[in-house]
Amino acid sequence: MRILFEKLEGLFVVERKEATYKKAVIGLIFVIIAGFSPYLYIRYEEYQYGKYKAEFDFVVEVVESYRAENNEYPLGHRIHWDNEKDLKQFFVENKWRLNRELYYIDTNAMEDLKNIKYTYIVDPETEQIYTSEFVIAHFKRWHFAFY
């Protein structure tokens, strides 16, 4: 039992070890990595948002041209807020009304929208288009392109 207590007591004893150049270089590398990680994360966010914004702008252009030709949006079925938890949280965070009638965009009505990554939702009342999935930019969740 005495050996066990000695081992436990030894866990809390701080032993000073000799500093070497190898340890100093590794520590410096960790400090540099930690210093650049916010910059690299922000650059990654901007890259991801750039891809998202390009697709979003393309979808908005196609949907608006469809609306100009047919005088209505290509509406699919109405969304259920229980199935769209990310979008619901986005609306709650921004203090927007949840009693809006939002509809999925019917991608079958337009040939150009067959190979898009995100699911798009339209609010015919405010003429705003959202995505079902969110993209992080400037440390905030976005379901539509901000300008």
Tokens, residue 22: 């190898």
- Across all residues in the chain, what is the average pLDDT? 86
More confident residue, 38 or 5: 38
**Is 99 a residue whose pLDDT tops 90?**
no
Nearest to 119 by CA among 40, 59, 49: 59
Lowest mean pLDDT among 16-20, 65-69, 118-122: 16-20
- Residue whose tokens read 């990654």: 44
Q: CA 72, CA 64: separation in Å to the nearest integer? A: 9
Q: What is the pLDDT of residue 35?
A: 92
Mean pLDDT of 120-142: 85
Residue 15: domain span: 1-143
Beta-carbon-side half-sphere exposure of residue 93 (alpha carbons within 13 Å)? 10
Q: What is the pLDDT of residue 142?
A: 83
Nearest to 142 by CA among 45, 44, 40, 41: 45
User: Is the model's pLDDT at 93 over the cut of 70?
Assistant: yes
**3-state SS assignment for residue 41:** helix
In this prediction, residues 68-72 reach a mean pLDDT of 88
Q: CB of 55 within 8 A of CB of 116? A: yes
12-50 core/surface letters (b: 16 or more CB in 10 A; e: else): eeeeeeeeeeeeeeeeeeeeeeeeeeeeeeeeebeeebe
pLDDT tens for 8-53 read 888 777 777 787 888 889 999 999 999 999 999 999 999 999 999 9
The 128-131 sheet, strands edge to edge: 75-78, 103-105, 120-123, 128-131
Asked if residue 92 has pLDDT above 70, the reply is yes
Number of structural domains in the chain: 1
Global confidence as pTM: 0.72
